A = this chain, B = another copy of it.
Amino acid sequence: MNLTQSLVTGVLFSLCLPAWADRATDEPITPISPAQVSNPELVELGKQLYFDPRLSRSGFISCNSCHNLSMGGTDNLPTSIGDHWQQGPINSPTVLNASMNLAQFWDGRAADLKAQAGGPIENPKEMASNHTLAVEVLRSIPEYRASFKARFGNEAITIDQVTTAIAAFEETLVTPNARFDQWLKGDDDALTEQEQSGYALFKEIGCTACHYGPAIGGKSFQKMGLIEAYQTNNPAQGRAGVTGKDADRFMFKVPTLRNIALTYPYFHDGAYWNLSEAVDVMARLQLGRQLNDDENARIVAFLKTLTGQQPDFKLPILPPSTPETPRPEPFPEN
């Protein structure tokens, strides 16, 4: 390339720049970056544990049962099915991009993914095991002992190590490269006009007051039913159950809108299956705004651009139990 060519290229590049500039710094929503994996072996161990139903008392329920990575990191049920088909109290939030949340669970009672991971294992309505039994199961399996030794320097296996590994895997479950992210990074053609106008409206009416950041949510607790009360049979009190403060009643963690087209049904009670209805409810109850059909359709079109790259890995193969492994208890008589 000679000087003239370089100059011409430079000028052309400058002319093109506005259309391809990174919008991220100007917007309340920022693109998701691909996961930076510093310890792939720990992630691999965490993936096995995530898929291992032997962490439940029945031997049937794994993390993936209710946070199904084939289905947007959810079970697509209003509330989950737990041990002996018990009905869970609240909608299972997606595990995708959950590392970006300010805290875990709808009421934020766990500080981070590691603190969350231990909860369902010992919850009698969910996996119905306990940390002692779960660790005893893993200790009885030579391949797990070897993996824990390689990752943590000893074969002891503690629940702290178990949840560290699961959290390390979950931290990789981010969904970059949604069409919206491509647009944020400057590719004008990544979104249609309707989708762009839906995003403009989303900001204009105030959705971004709560739904902001890379996960488009997950960064604050907000009252469900701010302008108008939310009608539900679900008894969850939200943040008040953690803080004991009356002011925190119905304060829930703002859910992420990433992959929202995959994570139906919506809200903490899972009462709404249709994204259009969910948008309508949010606009009315949180913003006091009745959207017309066109406005609703534009915002829904925008929301559908938030589906990013889904988990992309091989189904883990689990090491077999041994005669020493505590047996699962799927039914009372066994």
Contacts and interface: CB of A to CB of B under 8 A. Distances in A.
Interface stretch (A22-30, A204-212, A291-299, A326-334): A326-334
Contact of A310 (B72, B87, B261, B317): B317
Interface stretch (A78-86, A101-109, A241-249): A78-86
Given A264-B321, A315-B313, A59 B77 contact: yes
B51 A320 contact: no
B59 A315 contact: no
Contacts of A321: 76, 264, 273
Contacts of A330: 77-79, 81, 87
Give the oligomeric copy count. 2
A69 B314 CA distance: 11
Contacts of A70: 51-52, 315-318
A40 to B, nearest CB: 16
A311 to B, nearest CB: 6
A60 B77 contact: yes
A235 interface: no
A94 interface: no
A122 interface: no
A79 B69 CA distance: 26
Interface in A1-59: 51-54, 58-59
Contacts of A264: 320-321
A273 B334 contact: no
Contacts of A316: 70
Interface of A: 51-54, 58-60, 65, 68-72, 75-79, 81, 84-85, 87, 261-262, 264, 273-274, 276, 310-318, 320-321, 323, 327-328, 330-331, 334
16 contacts: A51-B70, A53-B71, A58-B81, A59-B76, A60-B65, A60-B81, A70-B315, A70-B318, A71-B318, A72-B320, A76-B328, A85-B85, A87-B331, A264-B320, A273-B321, A310-B317
